[in-house]
Structure formats: C-alpha cells, structure tokens
Amino acid sequence: TFVVTEACIQCKYTDCVAVCPVDAFREGANMLVIDPRECIDCNLCVPECPVEAIYPEHEVPAEQQAFIAHNADLARSWPAITRVKAAPADAAAWAEVRHKRHLLER
C-alpha cells in the first residue's frame, strides 16, 4: 500500500485524489490518508503531490513510520474524497514546516 505522511498536514492539496483509479483517499479536516484496503499500488499519486507526502509503505522514512498506522486507522472513519478541492489559503506556508504532526486533526 501507499502512505500519506506528515507533509500533507495543513497543505491538503488534493491533487492526489484526481489520479487514484480506486478512490482510495479518505479526507480528514487537515490531511488526507490512503485506505490500505483499497490501494492497488499503482504509484500514480506519488508524483502528483506538490509536497511529496506520499510513499510506498516500504519506503516510508524512519521518522514517518507512525503514519503507516495513522493511514490504516483513520481511513476506517474518514469519508472518501474523489474530487480535487481548493487547498487551504495558507497551504504554501505550511509546506515549509517540517514538524506539524501535533496539528493532525482526527
């Protein structure tokens, strides 16, 4: 499966959802996750993300490993998102912030 990591928080560009052939993305208030029960490992979403938030599970950086479980857990309760929507007005500013996982809204 593929995993959305910390970089997505407060950025939420949603370009990723436009290319997913199986509608695997799920939407939270300030981040998206991928439902591992749906993802077919096609890799199409990775180059779409402006902040490079998406990794194949086996390539998730060490400091981002917690997001493997976050994606699996949060995907169970968050609704599907299949259409691109406008990013938050301050998305570009948040793209520069490396440590923001404490802001994740469940």
CA 65 and chain centroid, separation: 14
Question: Buried b vs exposed e over 71-83: b needs ≥16 C-beta within 10 Å?
Answer: bbebbeebeebee
The encoded tokens of residue 38 equal: 């749906």
Q: How far is the CB of 50 from ligand SF4 (least distance, A)?
A: 15
Residue 22 touches which member of ligand SF4, ligand F3S, none, C-beta under 5-8 Å by kind: ligand SF4
Q: Which is nearer to ligand SF4, 58 or 97 (CB)?
A: 58
Interface positions with ligand SF4 (CB under 6 A): 2, 19-22, 24, 34, 39-45
